Amino acid sequence: MADQNNEQLHAMRHSLAHIMATAVTRIWPEAKLGVGPVVENGFYYDIDIPDVTISTDDFKRIEKEMIKVINQKQVFERSEKTIDEALEWAKSAKQPYKEELLNDLKRSGTTVAKDLNADELGTIANGNSAVDNVSFYTNSNFTDLCRGPHVESTGKVGAFKLMRIAGAYWRGKEGNPQMQRLYGVAFDTKEELNNHLQMLEEAKKRDHRKLGQELDIFVISDLVGPGLPLFTPRGTILRKELVKYSEELQRSVGYEETWNPHMTRVELYKTSGHYDKYPERFDVSSVESEDKFMLKPMNCPHHTQIYASKPRSYRDLPIRYMETTTMYRDEKSGELHGLSRVRSLTQDDSHAFVRHDQIEDEMRGILSIVKRMYQTLGLELSVDLSFRDDGDNYFGDKKAWDDAQAIIENIAKEEELNYKIELGEAAFYGPKIDIYVSDALGRKWQCATVQLDYVQPERFELEYTDENGEKKRPAMVHKAILGSIERFLSVYIEHTAGRFPIWLAPEQLRILQVKDSPEIENFVDEITALAKASGVRVEVDRANDSISKKIRNSQLMKVPYVLVIGEKELETRRVTPRTRLDLVNDDHTDSEYAFEDFILGIVRESKDRSAKSSL
């Protein structure tokens, strides 16, 4: 049922791309059309109009024209032409981009699927070399090369809105003509559309790049370079607390810490087989040495070298290394985005070298700590089990795969994970468990991953001696709990809108002094000293502002607890903390505490990593 709905929604969104192209060509008959695929939540069309730059001011006009087309309930009629007839059509319709696609199709039997897949093209291509006919869809006067499917008529397309216009190179290739990519979103109902637009508004408010600045978490410096975020003292507390927890969890299932340099001879990556697969590596040159070096884009090959440094017996296994370390990938500057897409990413990475009979326990241990991490963080998990299909592009014997996949699914069941199986999504070297979190806005993000790998042990010729004295290959289990800390923070800042739980809050307590008096100042110092000695992250606001302004400032910084200290507090040596709203339990009342008890309460909450205030 869900699939049927998805297909229907897909057809509807794609039909809207045609309707938009119909409207655009009605307004600008000279418009040349590229491709018009479906994307998440909507659709786009790449358009080239000589001497015209579409702006958001034109959206009303285009939408109005689209609604006319929709109200005319034009039927989408499918027809076929031979390739040569289709080429004739493209020429006479003055559609050079379609002509190019058709020529490619004629030459190779497919539109060049190297840079865009057939789905993205929104066109033909049945993938075989013998393409005789291509299909067209016509609504009223508008005809487009297309493989469908479409809804029945333009009247059946739900609710839509044009969102933005952006430049895009034809077929994604620099040097090709610049197209104007016109984006829209579409949903079955007006209500769903409105919900989506509301979500986007909320997402804008929570944008981690904006909050990251306001909450003083990270900065990007031109001199350091794009994609290389710098973390402030506050941001570094967040990172360290997350990593501390991740490492605590990993230690609890037997992982030991290692340390590797950030660069290596390229031979390491040639041996692992990653060298050619990582065009986004950063090469490093040496003045003196003939050797070529690179910054590490991952961690796995390095760990194999620690394993391989001495003989291993079956009794030593599993051998488990963990390392939270920064890696470097030369992402395209156009794709860099705040903390979610960076050039320096830090993973809570680990590798276990195990006997085949130990895979199950290893996976179970890892999944249990992944679950705990995300439970603590208040993020809901869903899991894709990425398994192989019947294709033959997988390494290793089928039996080992089947066993491993059965083990993985069994654990997913036992751990009551919300999982689905994705056939054909495995890595060539082994099955994967891809773990997604859902944030407060209902968006899904991949964070954690667990992967089973038979290939790297093979390539590095890793061995252990079994109970009969024979050499055997271990398997390797890769995992990251948070994934990239930077990327995780981008998700988590937006999920919490910067209201971090107490254990993560860079500033847990702020003390506001009401009145300028030496006695009150002494009392504030006394509380601050106790808080600091107890490990509470505390700041004192002694600025010459009104108390209401100080309270507002603490709210802007989303500080969990605020104490206002004046005559009354000094006299009773008791405090009435103001608690950040999201921490307050339903039955919470503003209570008074001896200040020592209050500090102890924060320490307890922080230690328990609780999400709510227990005070």
Tokens 């002694």: give the residue: 542
Residues 427-466, one symbol each (x = binds Zn ion by CB under 5 A, - = not), give ----------------------------------------
Asked, as a colleague might, if the bond just before 318 is cis with ω within 30 of 0, I would say yes
Pairing label, strands 319-328, 256-257: parallel
Quickly list H helices, 189-299. Answer: 190-206, 208-214, 233-252, 266-272
Q: Which of 19, 86, 134, 146 binds Zn ion (CB under 5 A)?
A: 146
DSSP code string of 198-230: HHHHHHHHH-HHHHHHHTT-EE--TTT-TT--E
CA 180 from chain centre, in angstroms, equals 27
Task: Looking at residues 181 to 200 of the shown chain, list those that interact with Zn ion (rule: CB under 5 A).
Answer: none
CB 168 within 8 A of CB 453: no
Residues 95-134, one symbol each (x = binds Zn ion by CB under 5 A, - = not), give ----------------------------------------
Length of the chain in residues, anyone? 615
The minimum distance between CB 394 and Zn ion, in angstroms, equals 18
What is the C-alpha to C-alpha distance for residues 173 and 170, in angstroms, rounded to an integer?
6
The minimum distance between CB 350 and Zn ion, in angstroms, equals 8
- φ, ψ (nearest 5 deg) of residue 105: -60, -40
**Active-site residue, 349 included:** yes
Residue number, 260 or 368, with CB nearest to Zn ion: 260
Find the catalytic residue in 180, 347, 405, 513.
347
Find the catalytic residue in 74, 147, 300, 550.
300
The minimum distance between CB 156 and Zn ion, in angstroms, equals 14
The minimum distance between CB 320 and Zn ion, in angstroms, equals 13
The minimum distance between CB 477 and Zn ion, in angstroms, equals 9
**Active-site residue, 300 included:** yes
Nearest Cα to Cα of residue 571 among 540, 536, 595:
595
Q: Where are the beta strands (DSSP E) in 83-191?
A: 133-139, 142-145, 159-169, 178-187
Residue number, 16 or 583, with CB nearest to Zn ion: 16
Residue number, 232 or 260, with CB nearest to Zn ion: 260
Residue number, 54 or 300, with CB nearest to Zn ion: 300
Rounded to the nearest 10 degrees, what angle do helices 518-533 and 595-608 cross at? 30
Q: Give me 173's structure tokens.
A: 């290739």
Q: How many residues bind Zn ion (CB under 5 A)?
A: 3
User: H helices then E strands: how many in the chain?
Assistant: 18, 29
The minimum distance between CB 69 and Zn ion, in angstroms, equals 14
**Active-site residue, 10 included:** no
The minimum distance between CB 349 and Zn ion, in angstroms, equals 6
What is the C-alpha to C-alpha distance for residues 349 and 545, in angstroms, rounded to an integer?
46
Residue number, 24 or 146, with CB nearest to Zn ion: 146
Task: Looking at residues 307 to 336 of the shown chain, list those that interact with Zn ion (rule: CB under 5 A).
Answer: none
The minimum distance between CB 450 and Zn ion, in angstroms, equals 10
H or E segment to which residue 444 belongs:
strand 444-453
The region of 56-64, 144-152, 172-180, 528-536 touching Zn ion under the rule CB under 5 A is 144-152
469: left (phi over 0), alpha (psi -120 to 50) or beta: left
Nearest Cα to Cα of residue 375 among 315, 416, 329:
416
Q: What angle do CA 382, 386, 388 make, to 5 degrees?
A: 160
Find the catalytic residue in 320, 341, 478, 495.
478
Q: Which of 33, 162, 242, 300 binds Zn ion (CB under 5 A)?
A: 300
What is the C-alpha to C-alpha distance for residues 210 and 197, in angstroms, rounded to an integer?
19
The secondary structure of residue 442, as a DSSP letter, is S
Residue number, 43 or 561, with CB nearest to Zn ion: 43
**Active-site residue, 329 included:** yes
The region of 138-146, 310-318, 438-446, 544-552 touching Zn ion under the rule CB under 5 A is 138-146
Residue number, 341 or 478, with CB nearest to Zn ion: 478
DSSP code string of 523-587: HHHHHHHHHHHTT--EEEE--SS-HHHHHHHHHHTT-SEEEEE-HHHHHHTEE--EE-GGG--TT
The minimum distance between CB 17 and Zn ion, in angstroms, equals 7
Find the catalytic residue in 351, 479, 510, 537.
351
The region of 143-151, 464-472, 502-510, 536-544 touching Zn ion under the rule CB under 5 A is 143-151
Residue number, 206 or 478, with CB nearest to Zn ion: 478
The minimum distance between CB 468 and Zn ion, in angstroms, equals 30
Q: What angle do CA 14, 20, 21 make, to 5 degrees?
A: 95
The region of 66-74, 154-162, 300-308, 410-418 touching Zn ion under the rule CB under 5 A is 300-308
Q: Which residues pair with 575 in a beta bridge?
A: 593
The region of 65-73, 299-307, 315-323, 428-436 touching Zn ion under the rule CB under 5 A is 299-307
Residue number, 13 or 371, with CB nearest to Zn ion: 13
Nearest Cα to Cα of residue 242 among 39, 7, 445, 503:
503
Find the catalytic residue in 18, 206, 341, 432.
432
Residues 463-492, one symbol each (x = binds Zn ion by CB under 5 A, - = not), give ---------------x--------------
Residue number, 32 or 478, with CB nearest to Zn ion: 478
Encode 13-41 in three state secondary structure: HHHHHHHHHHHHHHHCCCCEECCCCEECC
The region of 229-237, 297-305, 546-554, 601-609 touching Zn ion under the rule CB under 5 A is 297-305
Told to check if 217 binds Zn ion by CB under 5 A, we report: no
The minimum distance between CB 298 and Zn ion, in angstroms, equals 6
Residue number, 303 or 537, with CB nearest to Zn ion: 303
The minimum distance between CB 271 and Zn ion, in angstroms, equals 15
The region of 67-75, 292-300, 487-495, 553-561 touching Zn ion under the rule CB under 5 A is 292-300
> Cβ–Cβ contacts within 10 Å for residue 552, how many?
12
Residue number, 15 or 496, with CB nearest to Zn ion: 15
Q: Which residues contact 553 (CB under 8 A, 6 or more apart)?
A: 541, 545
> Cβ–Cβ contacts within 10 Å for residue 530, how many?
16
**Active-site residue, 478 included:** yes
SS3 370: helix
Find the catalytic residue in 144, 348, 349, 434.
349
Which residues of the chain form contacts with Zn ion (CB under 5 A)? 146, 300, 478
Active site residues: 300, 329, 347, 349, 351, 432, 478
